[in-house]
Each structure stands twice: as structure tokens, then as C-alpha cells.
Amino acid sequence: MQPQQGFVPPPTFGGQAGGYQPLNGAMGSMGGMGPMGGMSNVGMSGMGQMGGMGQPGIGMQNMGIPQTQQQGVPGMPMWGMNDATAAMGMQFGQSAMRAGQDYIDKNLSIHIPIPLLRHQFNVSNSYVLHKLRLLIFPWRHRPWSRKPRRSDSGAQADGWQPPREDVNAPDLYIPSMAVVTYILLSALQTGLQSRFHPEVLGIVASKALAVLVIEFMSIQLGCYLLNIQGQGQVVDLVAFGGYKFVGVIFTMLVGLLNLGRTVYWLTFLYAFCATGFFLLRSLRQVVLPDTSASPSNVTVTSAQRGRRIQFLFIIAVSQLLYMWILAWV
């Protein structure tokens, strides 16, 4: 129902029988409410004195709370922290993180050669393809010598080129990926033979780790007894030892084709011979470094040379035992 134009509400209800009295005095003292509930100027001023509704921040200041905390400034002021305290906390946290990082770098570099690991994983797609082909067909590869990295002046050698620049350089990328592939392929083989259970993954991984640890310890012992110096040489030996998994994977793939035991064992022997030949030619640069091209100035006598050659053949022949253990799943 629309109200008529010019309608004026009655000023008072006191004259009607049974009407209500509007309590004007009480409403005026509490907020200055007019007859229809409108806020009067007197009411606004009264509310401003009570709670600060008319002017922001007045009531909060009377309660002892700074106005900066009402506006939500950075630094979590509502929790009792201002900008200076937050900046001090951030600076302290950054200092603690830098100190912890320096401590880890100093203590970790003592046991793990971080720069050498970065050098070993500096590979490219073309390097991986050429290196896999070299591991399977190493017979006609020339040359086997590594490329030295020259200094800025170019007068002398300053280490070796990274793997992405030299296919003869050892790396840790292919061995690490080969170990993971070997574990997954072993699980696939046992699954096709209806022998798979979750423990197979742990057993195969433990066997691969045990082979790597035993070979690493034997190489470390041989390097110590034969005075093969240089931390980089030990890392190179570990990388070369991990290439055996490529031959093992090649043998297992042929076994999955079910071509017969004769084909399987011929493939295993070929993989062993290829791995052994590759190690004989590649490890010569580590065990018997060339003084003319190597950045190392270590002199090797004739007696030491003979013992190092024997050590080199032992490493190559031992691959037969390691590969047989790994291929038997």
C-alpha cells in the first residue's frame, strides 16, 4: 500500500486511547533518536563520546590502544610487534640461515666433493646417446684419451673438460639412471614370471647397493695401496664402475624376449666383454695417466706401472662376477 503524497505522521500518540508514549527523554539521552528512529546530531555526538562511531580512532585512543594498531600496518602489530621488531626478526632469521648454510657447505665438502659431483653431472642429450653407444659397441672407438681443459692463458692444462664436451669423460648421470632402470626392470621381470612381491624392490636395490659399496671399497683400497692420488681419480673410478649396469640391462632385455638360454648367455658374455674392454681403455687414463696431457704431475715408476696394470685387469675381470650377481634376479 503506497502512502499518499503529503502524508505527515502525527506528532504524538498521547492523545489516543490505549496509545504508547515514545519515551523521548530516554531515547534522547542514549542516542538522540528522533520520532522515526533517525539519528540526530546530538545522538551522533553522544555516540562519538561513548565509542568513537562519529570519529574513527577516538574511542580506541581513550582505551589505550594506539591508532596504528587499528589500521593493520605490516609487522603483525595486533600481536604486539611493530615494524622494528619484525625487521629485527627477519634479519636474525636470515643470519641464522646463512650460518647454517656455511656450516653445511664446509662440513659436507669434507666428505662429499660437491664441485666434482657437479662436474660429473654436467651432461647433455647428445653425450648420453654417444656414451650408451660407446658402452655397447666400444670396439672401434678412437681416440680414448680425455680432453684437458686449458687455463685462460692457454699455457697449461687446468683439469678436464666436462662430459658434455668430451665423450671419453666419465659421468655419474648414466650410472645413477642405470641403477634405477635396473631396479624397475627387475621388478618387471619377476612380475612376468609371476614371482613379484613388494619385497623384490627392496631386495634388488639392496643387492645393487651392496655391489657398488663392495666395489667402491676395493677400488679405494687399491688406490691407497698403489698411491693413486687425487680425489678426482677416485670419483672417476666409481663412475666407471657404475657403467656395468648398462650391460646388465642389455642382458636382461634380451632375456625378456625368451630367445632361449643360449642366446641369453651369449648376450651376457658379450656385455661382459664390452664392459671389460671399455674399462681397460678408459681406466688407463686414471690408473696410468699420461704426463704430457694430464694436469697431474705425479711420476709413476716402472714397478708402480706394472702393479697398476695388474690392478686395472683385476677391476676389468671382476666385472664378470658383479654382472652375474646383478643379472641373476
What digits encode the pLDDT tens for the residues 60-109? 444 554 554 444 444 445 555 567 777 888 888 888 888 877 776 666 66
> What parts of the chain have a pLDDT lower than 70?
1-82, 104-113, 151-158, 230-234, 289-299
> What pLDDT is attached to residue 204?
95
> Residue 169 CB: number of other CB atoms within 10 A?
23
Predicted local confidence at residue 199, as pLDDT? 92
Q: What pLDDT sits at residue 43?
A: 42
Q: Is 220 helix (H, G, I), strand (E, B) or coil?
A: helix
Question: Cα–Cα–Cα angle for 283, 117, 129, nearest 5°?
Answer: 65
pTM of the complete model beyond 0.85: no
How do the domains of the chain map onto residue ranges?
A: 114-327
- CA dist 185 and 248 (Å) reads 10
Write out the DSSP string of 159-174: EE--GGG-TTS--SHH
Rounded CA separation 315/319 (Å): 7
Q: What is the pLDDT of residue 44?
A: 44
CB-based contact 322:215 (threshold 8 Å): yes
Tell me if residue 33 falls in helix, strand or coil.
strand
> Of how many residues is the chain composed?
329
User: With contact defined as beta carbons under 8 Å apart, do 179 and 166 qualify?
Assistant: no
Residue with cell 702393479: 307
Quote the cell numbers at residue 310. Answer: 695388474
User: To the nearest 5 percent, what fractions of the chain are helix, strand and coil?
Assistant: 60, 5, 35
| 8-state DSSP, 266 | H
Strand partners, 150: 157
Distance from C-alpha of 212 to C-alpha of 323, rounded to nearest angstrom: 11
Which DSSP string do the residues of 150-217 spell out, in sequence order? Answer: E-SSSSSEEEE--GGG-TTS--SHHHHHHHHHHHHHHHHHHHHTT---THHHHHHHHHHHHHHHHHHH
Report the DSSP pairing between strands 157-160 and 148-150.
antiparallel
What is the Cα–Cα distance from 11 to 9, expressed in whole angstroms?
6
The answer to whether the CB of 302 falls within 8 A of the CB of 163 is: no
Q: How far apart are CA 84 and CA 89, in angstroms?
A: 9
Rounded distance between C-alpha atoms, residue 12 and residue 130, angstroms: 103
- Cα separation, 182 vs 190, in Å, equals 12
The reported pLDDT for the residue numbered 274 is 95
pLDDT at 226: 84
- How far CA 87 is from CA of 63, 79, 91, in Å, comes to 28, 15, 6
Query: What was the pLDDT predicted at 69?
Result: 45
